[in-house]
Amino acid sequence: MAGAPGAVRADLEQVFRTGYPAVVSVAARVLGSRDEAEDVAQEVFLSFARSAVPAAEAPGWLAVAAAHTALNHLRSGRRRAAREEAAADGPLSAPDVADTVVSREESGRVRAALARLPRKQAVALVLRHSGLSYADVAAALGLSPGSVGTTVRRAESALREELTSHAPVR
């Protein structure tokens, strides 16, 4: 029988290898940290391993689960001490197209604001910025495609306000 309790789905490795980078990418957008995103990805795939989600629906399921799980981490403060340690290391050594580099302070503010958004707005925003189409986001969240733009726009407006109200003079 397919669904004995505790059974692990047979297609797990294939789905994992295909979907892992995307799941990490979604979680990293929420958390701003790849290490933490990798932890979230492990949680997401552990849930997936026990699920009966059809493989064809896996990408959408994984993206939504990644966003929710990462947002739960943000909200519950289950952030690893490593993040604080990393923050003490000094300036970013990341790729530095000037306009895209954000200070850790800004990143912290964005994440705090993200955690305060209504959950649907936060998930829609993260999925859209992770590259899901409007139709994919709509399908994943039970929204009409027309309302995805509105939902994402509201989220961006709120986050932008958060960024500009504290923006350093450059």
b/e burial code for range 9-41 (CB count within 10 A of at least 16 → b): beebeebbeebbebbbbbbbbbbbbeebbebbb
Q: Which of 59, 72, 79, 80 binds another protein (CB under 8 A)?
A: 72
Please report whether residue 78 would count as binding another protein according to CB under 8 A: no
Q: Which of 40, 66, 70, 126 binds another protein (CB under 8 A)?
A: 126
CB of 30 to another protein, least distance (A): 8
The interface with another protein within residues 87-116 (CB under 8 A) comprises 92, 94-95, 99-102, 104, 106-107, 110, 114
Q: Which of 108, 102, 49, 51 is nearest to 74 (CA)?
A: 108
The interface with another protein within residues 7-36 (CB under 8 A) comprises 7-8, 12-13, 16-17, 20-21, 25, 28-30, 32-35
- Taking the CA atoms of residue 62, residue 68, residue 111 and residue 155 in that order, the dihedral angle to the nearest 10 degrees is 90
Q: Which of 10, 40, 54, 170 binds another protein (CB under 8 A)?
A: 54
CB of 150 to another protein, least distance (A): 3
C-alpha 33/C-alpha 30 separation (Å) is: 8
CB of 107 to another protein, least distance (A): 6
Please report whether residue 55 would count as binding another protein according to CB under 8 A: no
Please report whether residue 75 would count as binding another protein according to CB under 8 A: yes
C-alpha 4/C-alpha 153 separation (Å) is: 44
CB count, 10 Å around CB of 96?
A: 10
- Taking the CA atoms of residue 40, residue 46, residue 47 and residue 49 in that order, the dihedral angle to the nearest 10 degrees is 140
Q: Which of 40, 66, 68, 73 binds another protein (CB under 8 A)?
A: 68
